[in-house]
Structure 1
Amino acid sequence: MQEIVYLHGFASSSRSEKAVLTEQYFQAIPKVRFRALDLPYTPNEAMATLEIMLAEPPLAIIGSSLGGFLATVFAERLGCRACLINPAVAPHKVLKNYLGSYDHPVLQQRYQVSAEHMPLLKALMPESLQNASQYFVLLQTGDEVLDYRDAVQYYQGANVQLVTGGDHSFVGYQHYLPQIAQFCLQA
């Protein structure tokens, strides 16, 4: 059984629209186990959770936004494929604008985003990609949260699909699921 793992973005969960659509799509594919993980929001806790959950490397990791950043960190460590949807390239630069207290919608926990988390996120960021061909990156130019040009630059050499318009949620995501599955399931 081949495993595909989905990592949600900041202030999201395994029950987000993208996660649910992805789960429904992969359920129809034989011999594939799909898991959408709910991650803690502090960098150390998220990394500890992922190290346990990904002890057996998956075939591929799908990550959206902050989940795309974490998918990159683990794809680099594990050598697996990663499909990224509007990924955060340098989350320490973006999240510094979101300091404060939040509620996790599924875990039913309150969490803090603090300035102390920013150096931890920066330290996790791979300086460069070891094998750009293991990445499929979906970007929309209308992303109002992240500058898509940062991802275009960082993921040079990867299979990057740049879509004009859209927004951070990646409008029309469900139409890209066949491409995502094809990329993830390549041997």
Structure 2
Amino acid sequence: MEIIIEDPEPLPLLSLNHISLVCNSLQLSLAFYQKVLGFVLVKRPSSFNFDGAWLFNYGVGIHLLQSETSDTEPPKKTMINPRDNHLSFQCTNIGVTEKRLQEMKIDYVKRVIEEKGIYVDQLFFHDPDGYMIEICTCENLPVVPLFPWKNNTVTSCSLKSAHPMQTISPLFRYEKNMEAIGTKRCRSEVQEETLLLDIMDIFI
């Protein structure tokens, strides 16, 4: 008799909570993430006995940690390499975003991806410590899983996109994928969150 052991369940995750970055200058990094990327400074646990700061926006947190010694300082990067590790943010208007980067005199690299008639614009640049930031229109590309999950065909609807508290009145609409054969994909039309509700979710 053959014993079939099922694949283990993945961890019971909800959503991305925060990204932690070690920085050379806490003040420079705070200015960048607030003034360039629009993050908002939020309360940090008073029990922490090391320098740092918490910021929040767009449903995700950025936790900055002041480097304590030269050994922990992030290496400076001068060349902008789109294939390097990076944080990516969706934007509402790539043209306005590029113009703002030019006005702030921030060096960047621009790329355009084409996939079956769908175009994605990408802008890559560094934060003060050389961490790569991408601003893109990646949402233009549908999320299409490559393999079925638990003997059922998975659509992008069934993938967890956010914690329930981080979305307001999600409405789902099925539509035919022009390139897919006999398959359907879904697009989530979610009302825009207010920053106040996002910040409140941290403490719920």
Of the two structures, which has the highest relative contact order with CA contacts closer than 8 Å and spacing of 6 or more?
1
Flag the structure with larger Rg.
2
Normalising by the residue count of structure 1, what TM-score does the alignment of the two structures yield?
0.29
More strand by share: 2
